[in-house]
Amino acid sequence: MTATSPLKTLQTKIGGMDCGSCAKTVEAGLQKLPGITDINVVFATESLRLNYDPQQVSEKAIFDRIKTLGYTIEQTTAAIPPSEDSGCSHEHEHHHHHQHSTVEKTQKTNLTNWEFWIRNRRAQAVILAGLGLVLGLLTQHLALPIWLSRGFYGIGIIVAGFAIARAGLMELRLWRADMNLLMTISVIGAVILGDWFEGALVVFLFSLGTTLQTFTFSRTRNAIASLMDITPATATVKRDNNQEVTVRVEEIQVGEILTIRPGQKVALDGIVVSGNSAIDQSPITGESIPEDKQKGDRVFAGTLNQTGFLEVQVTHTANDTTVAKIVHLVESAQSSRAPTQQWVDKFAEIYTPIVIVSAIALTLIPPLIFAQPLDVWFYRSLVMLVIACPCALVISTPVSIVSAIGAATSQGILFKGGNGLETAGKLQSIAFDKTGTLTQGKPTVKKVYDLGELSANAVLLIGACLERRSEHPLAKAIVAQAEAEGIELETPESFTAYPGKGISGKFGNNLYFAGNRRLFADQNIALSASILSLLDDIEKLGQTPVLVSSNRGLLGIIALADGLRLEAGEAVHSLKQMGLKRLVMLTGDRTFVAAQIAEQLNLSEYKAELLPEDKLQEIQALRKFGTVGMVGDGINDAPALAAADISFAVGGIDIALETADVVLVGSDLRKLAYAVDLSRRTVSVIQQNVIFSIVTKALFLLLGTFGFVGLAVAVLADTGTSLIVTANGMRLFRSK
């Protein structure tokens, strides 16, 4: 949100949705308020996100509308007692003031199975309805008066059916039909036909089904939430006179010193100022081998200090940590819609009205035209109404997406949306940036060549002063080398970056350059034959030369080398095995250097000496052969990342978060293969789910129309399909 925009964003959790269509109800209900745009309600995560114009509608009015629709605002601050969420307990409302923070601490209801049944209202209703059903059956079979058994059935119907009917009526007010309304009509119809037992059975089975589903769902939700709820609430800081005090993380400012003991979790992002320790970063990177940290290294909130004592200077406040960004990202990814879901939603929208109209026709036409008995066809149309709920179909996609995103997150792969999750599996080719992607991106200065005019130190000084303005890994290495040698650096008065070429800057009246041959060709600075052959020699060693000059001529050359990422070869190998057709390295570096690296990685294709815009063209060329992925670090490859069908970012999470569709947090390239595989599995689970739910619907529609299926079986089929679809989607989260 920019400061000038009048729109505000509201993001919250909603309780009481038992089916995908509830999400539609909330959307439709909010749509009617003025000044609301971009509403997105996701059943699978119980989340609501919308933009609103505060001058037209207040936050309170939005919350009130949600409550009148019959849902609860599950506001998520640490102070909330475990709520009776999930079921249709509309009476229970937790309305806490909303915070516009990036991270919301989610206090999840971690009920045990047993507590769930005791405390959840829907669950209680199921038990009571079951009891009514059993007592009704018993009295019926003992041939006691019919009013007694009907009484028991009636109690069952009312106890369990109340919440259903209430939700159904809400729908009717919006001129929409959801499963609650359809079930209500069916049950009332059954009672009218004198089938009290069947009515009670339908209510019981339906409540049982939705409750079971809420239960399975909330367990996965909790698992995913706990995955992300990994930062401690308090931390120890050194304050006045170096006293250690433990305070809430929100109170800690940038620049304060945290003390972290072995076995403690890091509470905030920071830089180690003293001590040594191994840190388990798996909670955010998925990488299980601990990393050694010492003075000057970055540590991240949510990671676990294992062996030593550390003092860490805080660099980001609690709302701003890497893990906070990750949590935010994952939350919005889960609520984004995959392409398949958009299709499914549209289908569900027309499916229900069509079936309702058919049900009415089924009641009227056979009796009126073919003189068939009315009660038989009325009953069949009730069955049809039950089958008209597209519930399983509607949840089939989101449930799979949510659990796949959960699985990916636990591996340190962040998908920014459902879109990427569907695209990754279709990849035909992947292009890799070289520096910072296939290589570690931590080049080091190997040698500084002077040309006699200035000393090597002076060459390094000029290079480093210029490069202070650049984010490029080569630039950082040059600056680091100068600092290590204790050279005092100045900042140029003005500077210009030439992406893929180098940088220039002004000191006093003199203009200086640092970069590659292209930069020098552009600036018409001639290079002698002996220099050119020296450059070739450096490149044949696999090193990258950075030429340093003033506007009068070359002053010296800084040669740098960058190691390969250790896992790069393995990553390339497994991607090849997964059947990806083309794996290409794209680099702005020279052909010699590129060839050497390609050979080490067993990559058959590489394109060297590319400018950022050339990389983009290469991507566009690859797109002719199918879906293309681009893997990069965001430096000099942002246009190419944007042009690819799906982009993966490694390295610095800050830039990567903005540019790429998928972020590999631990920069482990092997996770690419995992992401592709997960995506393929997700797509196939979604397909299975969609096909399964459509086929069962069609089958039961047919059977119901010809009277082979009763109400109870139709309900069983409906909730059963939903449960199977849910369980199938959850598999993605469980599997590793």
Site residues (vs ligand ADP, CB under 6 A): 433-436, 467, 470, 472, 474-475, 500-503, 514-516, 544, 546, 587-589, 612, 635-636
639 binds, among Mg ion, ligand ADP, none (CB under 5 to 8 A by kind): none
Residue 143: partners with Cβ closer than 8 Å, 6 or more residues away: none
Q: How far is the CB of 588 from Mg ion (least distance, A)?
A: 7
CA distance 618 to 444: 29
Catalytic residue among 85, 269, 433, 637: 433
What does each C-alpha distance from 598 to 458, 582, 603, 644 come to in angstroms?
34, 13, 5, 21
- Token couple for 110: 């971690």
Quick one: 492 or 634, whose CB is closer to Mg ion? 634
Closest separation between CB of residue 24 and Mg ion, Å?
44
| Closer residue to ligand ADP in complex, CB, 168/639 | 639
Decide whether 435 or 693 has the Cβ nearer to ligand ADP.
435
Residue of closest CB approach to ligand ADP: 588
Nearer to ligand ADP, 115 or 493 (CB): 493
104 vs 668, beta carbon nearer Mg ion: 668
What's at 100, amino acid-wise? H
Q: Specify the long-range contacts of residues 526-535, CB closer than 8 Å, at least 24 apart.
A: 527/554, 531/557, 534/449
Interacting span for Mg ion (CB under 5 A) from 69-77, 132-140, 325-333, 431-439? 431-439
Report what 474 binds from Mg ion, ligand ADP, none; CB cut-off 5-8 Å by kind.
ligand ADP
Do residues 670 and 566 lie in contact, with contact meaning Cβ atoms separated by under 8 Å?
no
Strands 243-248, 234-239: pairing is antiparallel
Q: Which is nearer to Mg ion, 36 or 619 (CB)?
A: 619
Contacts with Mg ion: how many residues (CB under 5 A)?
5
Strands 662-664, 646-649: parallel, antiparallel or unpaired by DSSP? parallel
- Report the 3 state secondary structure along 161-188: HHHHHHHHHHHHHCCCCCHHHHHHHHHH
Nearest-angstrom CA–CA distance, 526 and 413 = 47
Stretch that binds Mg ion, among 267-275, 303-311, 628-636, 721-729 (CB under 5 A): 628-636
Location of structure tokens 């050194």: 238
d(CA 662, CA 678): 13
Q: Note whether 433 binds Mg ion by CB under 5 A.
A: yes
Q: Report in angstroms how near the CB of residue 637 gets to Mg ion at its nearest.
A: 5
618 binds Mg ion (CB under 5 A): no
Give the nearest distance from C-beta 181 to Mg ion in angstroms: 56
Q: Which amino acid makes up residue 396?
A: S
Pick from 436, 428, 727, 363: nearest CA to 580: 428
**Nearest distance from residue 523's CB to ligand ADP, in Å?**
13
Report in angstroms how near the CB of residue 649 gets to ligand ADP at its nearest: 13
Sequence-distant (6+) residues with CB within 8 A of 624 are none
CB of 519 to ligand ADP, least distance (A): 7
Q: Among 334, 429, 435, 667, which residue sits at the site for Mg ion (rule: CB under 5 A)?
A: 435
Given a contact cutoff of 8 angstroms between Cβ atoms, the answer to whether 296 and 262 are in contact is no
Rounded to the nearest 5°, which phi and psi values hold at 189? -60, -45
Query: Would you call 320 a catalytic residue per the annotation?
Result: no
Closer to ligand ADP by Cβ: residue 465 or 503: 503
635 near Mg ion, judged by CB under 5 A: yes
CA-CA distance, 734 to 220, in Å (whole number)?
9
Q: Which of the stretches 194-202, 559-567, 611-619, 634-642 binds Mg ion when contact is defined by CB under 5 A?
A: 634-642
Three-point CA angle 175, 176, 179, nearest 5°: 145
Give the binding range for Mg ion (CB under 5 A) out of 77-85, 185-193, 457-465, 629-637: 629-637
Contact, 477 vs 444, CB < 8 A? yes
Residue 436 binds Mg ion, judged by CB under 5 A: yes
Closest CA to 430 of 618, 285, 154: 618
Which residues of this chain interact with Mg ion, rule CB under 5 A?
A: 433, 435-436, 635-636
Question: Which residues are the active-site residues?
Answer: 433
